[in-house]
Amino acid sequence: MTIPSDCSILGKEVPVSDIEIELKKLWEADDASTHASLMNFAVYSEDASALACNSSMVREITREHACRAILVGIDLDDPEVGMRSWITAHCNLANGKKAVCCEQIAFHLAGKVVGRYRNSIFAHLQSDLPLVFWWQGELTDRFDDRLYTLIARLIIDSAEWAEPRAQYRLLERALLQDGLVVQDLSWTRTYRVRLAIASLFDDHAGQAALPKIEKVNIVVHPDNLQSGLQLLAWMSTQCEWAFANDMLTSDRAPHSFSFQSKGGKFIEAQIVTDENSLAINEVTLSGDDFEAKVSLGENDNLIHLVFDIQGIHVEESTPAESIEPQDLVRDQLSRGGKNSLFKKVFPRYIELMDRS
Amino acid sequence: MLPAAMSNPFREDLVSRSRAEACSVVIFGATGDLTHRKLVPALYNLAVDGELPHGVKIIGFARREKSDDVFRSGLEELNQKVSRTGHDPALWNEYKENVYYHQSEFHDIDGYKRLAERLDAIDESRGGAGNRLFYIASAPEFFDVILENLKAVGLNNSAEGCWARVIVEKPFGTDLATAQHLNSVVNNTFEEKDTYRIDHYLGKETAQNIMVLRFANSIFEPLWNRKYIEQIQITCAENLGMEGGRGGYYDKAGALRDMVQNHLLQLLSLVAMEPPTDLSADGVRDEKVKVIRSLRQLNTPELIKQNVVRAQYTAGHIDANKVPGYREEDRVDPESMTEAYVALRMHVDTWRWSGVPFYLRVGKRLPKKATEISIHFKSPPSVLFNAIPGAASGGNVLVIRIQPDEGISLRVMSKLPGTTLRMEPVKMDFHYATSFGKGSPEAYERLLLDAMAGDATLFARRDEVEEAWRYVDHIERAWHDSDHTPEMAEFVAGSWGPKEADDLLEQDGNSWRRL
């Protein structure tokens, strides 16, 4: 079996059968620390070399979210079937006083181990605590209903997928019928932008402009096209814009769509991908006499809001947040909830993908 | 003018709370400590967290001559020290552009006229009429004149589709008569639905968690009554005395007015209330006020003597430092008869709580800072274990820690490991800070946001305030106006209060929980 590189970060290697005994010893050896856990947090990757990196990310996440972390890395191509495990604890100072520690179990699975990873995880879950499952990379046939029925919250990142539409097909039933809470990090990336857009339409001037929207332009990095589609799906769902079938698909520029508002106004929307752009670079909503723009500052980590209407010019800024995966996961776990807005927007997002 | 407010579809479902609306926040008493230490940092933290609605402007109204820039610099200096989220110079520079200073005497009507013009200009720059939130954080003697002048220049009225609201800081009166007077002045100026009487204890995470704990966990509510609960204790201990010149205010108020009438009775009502029919502001407050109304009135000197202990501290030691007695404190009358400690035995005369004593204690210069509520359950019948030598007895105790170290613990009996049957109490403990690494927002953040959202659930209603004063007034009168004034007890600073307070519980076979 191939040994994962840099496994020292994973802690002490222990026999799989002794994991719980070794964890107990770990806690008994340290009276000064408090052991805390609010959930089981599993991080699954079919890239076995991701274990070390995931361990570092979990260390960051446990600063805010006490959990029992279970890391799984699978090397399916390894001809030798085998399984190794490590335990460690991530300790952080709470309020600068007490060390609060979260335990981590890491598994490296090699060879054709379909089914075995599931048992490895479920055997080490803490009872009564929810299971949050971060599936990294493409969903494979190892993601099935036997797995997701045990998950309280599934974290995925559609930005990592080569074929998002096909991938979401695997999730559709779980999400819409079986009530699985799915949190797509592409959607989380749009959160601050959505807040910023919403804030532009809070006051009278903004609200007066809402029915006048004629054009939506979203600029994203090509890797973040899904975030762009989800943003547009959100806007069109919330404003109750219907698709306008006034153009054949072949006539349209890539990722451009026509909508019609309830008031009968036509809205042209386009998502522009730009290699030089930041993840979600800019969103502009405009009409005859107004333009509302939300853009990410390149160097200042701020979202800039500009609103021009009938000679009134307003400029403001609001903090942008990190879009690193561990920060997005941390953010998402803080908000909790059933992700009902994403569920509401999801059918339109699927339609946009189909029409894109 | 642009059309009246419509709903913003982009806001729907975005955050799971009532939506705070953009407004101009006018703070009266803007040069005071509260504005610098709490209010402006709270608004800044909300901005950092992306929770502050776009377009919120802050106008500080005070008497001292100051420019916008000087006012902003003073705020920045303190924000650097106290902000929960840290101080980000880039964000502060953005934020401060929305902060202004308005100089005027509180009684100068022209100052209010100029304020109205200034607010109109701000609204105009945003394209129309706007919402206004007036925060009265001045000394209480100016409450009347501020409210009257707001009305005189029409600032209590809002444009169509907008709102004008007022937040009033404590103390809300000094007795029932002054509270009623203040309420009538407030309600002559603003409607009750637009009046927000702030009690920052209700903005604390753990205070809000009381309802969740009670009504979202099926294991507690069935036991939450006279059948299973023996007694309830509410403690609010301070290790500080009269530092920083606070003796001037405190010696006029005392522990009963300063803490019991508002914070402690609010906590008591959350613990003792019936389940509300819904989570609307009035749904919750209707139930809370019923509790205050159901308090058994201590309306004779005898009853007060039997159920209330007041005390002052004498010189002692706290954290190995020598501290003066209450009457030797800065700005305290050397012959003061103001209580720095009070303990009460109270009864809530309802079906649920009949016969269950509620013990409250609050004081300065106690050994440590701690606010908590403890629910003491009745002991189980001891027919099984009472024959065991050395068996510890005692019922379960559920403790809700309000501050610091917010959390919940439950004391349960457990068998000690070993070959013999021995029992000891053990504690199951939940700490907010340990379980949730992310810090809670400050109470003022939550409350300011709620006021901008028009959600008055965590604010005291007129009848709550008046009923609380009605209860407290009997005691105040017996202490200060009666011919048989009860004695002022004493305790050594750094101890857990006077012996008389221990005796109060001992009469019932109980004792104060050791914190």
Percentage of chain B exceeding pLDDT 90: 63
CATH class of this structure's domain B24-169 = alpha beta
The CA R_g of chain B, rounded to the nearest whole Å, is 25
Return the CATH fold of A188-321+339-355.
Dihydrodipicolinate Reductase; domain 2 (3.30.360)
Q: CA–CA separation, B324 vs B448, rounded Å?
A: 38
Residue B4 has pLDDT above 50, yes or no: no
| Chain B touched by A198 (CB under 8 Å) | yes
Provide mean pLDDT across the span B104-116: 95
* Chain-chain contact of A203 with B94 (C-beta, under 8 angstroms): no
Mean pLDDT value of segment B166-172: 90
Model confidence, pTM? 0.80
Contacts of B4 in chain A (CB under 8 A): 204
Mean pLDDT of chain B: 89
Q: What is the pLDDT of residues A210-255, one digit of tens each?
A: 999 999 999 999 999 999 999 999 999 999 999 987 555 556 788 9
Task: Determine contact: B383 vs chain A, CB below 8 A.
Answer: no
Contact A201 B8 (CB under 8 A): yes
Residue B3: the pLDDT is: 39
- Give me the residue from B8, B88, B125 closest to A202, CB to CB: B8
Of A159-168, A243-252, B37-46, B317-326, minimum mean pLDDT range:
A243-252
- Complex-level ipTM: 0.82
Instruction: Output the six-digit token pair for B494.
Output: 């750094």
Q: Helix, strand, or coil here: B341? A: strand
Q: Compute the nearest-CA separation of B383 from chain A (Å).
A: 34
> For A341, which of B14, B91, B128 is closest by C-beta distance?
B14
Take residue B232 and report the two structure tokens written for it. Answer: 């309830």
Q: Dump strand ranges (E) for A235-350.
A: 242-243, 256-260, 266-273, 280-287, 290-296, 302-309, 312-319
- The residues in A 293-312 lying below 8 A from B, measured between CB atoms, are 300, 302, 305, 309-310, 312
Work out the average pLDDT over B49-73. Answer: 89
- Where are the CATH 3.30.360 domain residues in chain A? 188-321+339-355
The answer to whether the CB atoms of B14 and A198 lie below 8 A apart is yes
Residue B53 neighbours by CB under 8 Å, 6+ apart: A199, A202, B19, B20, B21, B22, B23, B452
A279 — phi, psi (to 5°)? Answer: -50, -65
Query: Which of B200, B263, B376, B474 is the catalytic position?
Result: B263
What is residue B5's predicted lDDT score, i.e. its pLDDT?
A: 44
The answer, for A68 touching chain B at a CB cutoff of 8 Å, is no
Nearest to A102 by CA among A37, A185, A31: A37
b/e burial code for range B337-361 (CB count within 10 A of at least 16 → b) = ebbbbbbbbbbbebebbeebbbbbb
| A29 φ/ψ sector (left φ>0, alpha ψ -120 to 50, else beta) | alpha
Helices (H), B83-134: 89-96, 109-125
Question: Rounded to a whole number, what is the distance in Å from the CA of B287 to chain A's nearest CA?
Answer: 28
Best CA proximity match to B151, nearest among B178, B182, B128, B185: B185
Q: Is B263 in the active site?
A: yes
Closest residue by Cα to residue B459 from B245, B207, B273, B233: B207
- Chain B residues within an 8 Å CB radius of A302: 90-91, 94
pLDDT at B362 over 80: yes
CA distance B390 to chain A (A): 28
Q: What does the pLDDT read at residue B392?
A: 58
End-to-end CA distance of chain A: 44
Residue A326, CB-side half-sphere exposure with 13 Å CA sphere: 13
B90 neighbourhood in chain A, CB within 8 Å: 300, 302
Residue contact B128–A207, C-beta within 8 A: no
CATH superfamily of the B202-381+398-411+429-445+461-506 domain: Dihydrodipicolinate Reductase; domain 2 (3.30.360.10)
pLDDT beyond 60 at B1 = no
The tens digit of pLDDT for each residue in B340-349 reads: 999 999 999 9
The pLDDT value recorded for residue A114 is: 60
Mean pLDDT is highest, among A299-313, B19-33, B42-56, B178-192, for B178-192
Residue A202 to residue B433, Cβ atoms within 8 A? no
For chain B, the domains span 24-169, 202-381+398-411+429-445+461-506
How far apart (Å, rounded) are the C-alpha atoms in residues A203 and B455? 19
Closest residue in B to A338 (Cα) is B16
Confidence of residue B492 (pLDDT cuts 50, 70, 90): very high
pLDDT less than 70: residues of chain A: 1-5, 30-32, 94-98, 113-117, 120, 246-251
B297 in reach of chain A (CB within 8 A)? no
State yes or no: pLDDT of B466 exceeds 50: yes
Does B12 reach chain A within 8 Å, measured CB to CB? Answer: yes
Percent of chain B surpassing pLDDT 70: 95
Mean pLDDT calculated for residue range B185-204: 92
